[in-house]
Structure 1
Amino acid sequence: YVESSHRDVLRALLANPTIAQARAPDMDQAGAEDNDEFTVTEALPEMDANLEFQKLVGDNQGGDEDDADPDVMWGTQLSEKSLQNVAFRIHQDKVEEVKKAAIEMDYPLMEEYDFRHDTHNPNLAIDLKPTTRIRVYQEKSLSKMFGNGRARSGIIVLPCGAGKTLTGVTAASTVKKGCLVLCTSATSVMQWKYQFQLWAEIPPKNISCFTSDKKEPLDPSASVLITTYTMMSFGGKRSEESG
């Protein structure tokens, strides 16, 4: 789907022949259709979903002083009125063409992953341990990533020692799908594996390291694969284990 809170934006996009040809009939009955034949959904549930994520990780943290008022975290007051989003469906094999055309029109699209409704990829058996504590700033950064049951593309930037690894582990345990962790060194690979086992409950067979010295077997179902940029980008001849 291509979704926006502004109908004029969708009309402008559909004026592009490439995007218009990529449009597909909307088979989803969850949302109503307006006079422009756009699917109409409520925008407020996205805020509720973010607050639900905040509550989920907040239950594990024992309550910091900023947890009492969600508006403190969000820096905004939630409106009692529901806002509406409009959307139209496109063919899956035309996604890249639509993205390119939208960029050329100065309407870059932000990708989202509807992991809750992904029945194609197997689920990963991972959950945060009951003793895991998530800090407020980690919740805030993750709440920007998740919304309306979807994961957004982007970069989370935190200072050194702020718990970026735990933030990544929490993100992986929220999506519960196969995960690839790219590290800068083999030492970092082992540190990430230790952190996954420290903060989350995950079967040993579902977490694998892949370095020049350590090549653990990858479970055919959903797994966490931790490796280095060098191992992924190496273009020379590989060993049988690497292949």
Structure 2
Amino acid sequence: MAKRGKQLVAARGKIDRSKRYGFEEGIQAALEAKFAKFDESVDVAVRLGVDPRHADQMIRSTVVLPHGTGKTVRVAVFAKGEKAQEARDAGADEVGAEDLLEKIQGGWLEFDRCVATPDMMAVVGKLGRVLGPRGLMPNTKTGTVTFDLAKAVKEIKAGKIEFRVEKGGIIHAPIGKASFGVEKLKENMEALLETLIRLKPTAAKGTYMKGIAVSTTMGPGVRLDVAEVKAISAKG
């Protein structure tokens, strides 16, 4: 612990806490401050000017990162018949119906995302207490309740991530691995920000994007210049 504490203090010393970095410069700073020996994930935190307590300001959606997340995502699918085969052909790791229900009820949870066809939700609903708290429950808003299983599974495997605003108005999302390098991480982050811009609630008043920070798994946060979001808005 003492060693890690010294490393973290040293990493923080490389970051100017009073500065708002440009996107590329900030990501580079976060990468230079990392100290773990493994390939750390890189995450973004965005503070939004919304009040999640109001339904019309609750933001929950998905985005397909152009360069993926760098992680192998295991997908479980609830489907029958031709749809089950469609899921298997698309690369799903586990496919089933009542048999998959029993397997999960028995304690098996070796998957990262769960997809289901609409007609299977009565079965999946029995797993609410198991999947819900883990954020694994299929949902129409995130495209995980659908008859187009091929598209859903392929997008998830390619780097589709889910995000949801927390009580404090903050969204946390992974944008890849440190090994991706600055350019790919920047493009992934911009894809996320573009999506957030499109999702701005009409009920949200004042400044929408109040703050952005990027960090590696173990490293310190680096605050970014929100003004650069205007360039992303212009692209859209």
TM-score class, shorter: under 0.3
Determine which structure has the larger strand proportion and give its number: 2
TM-score by length of 2: 0.23
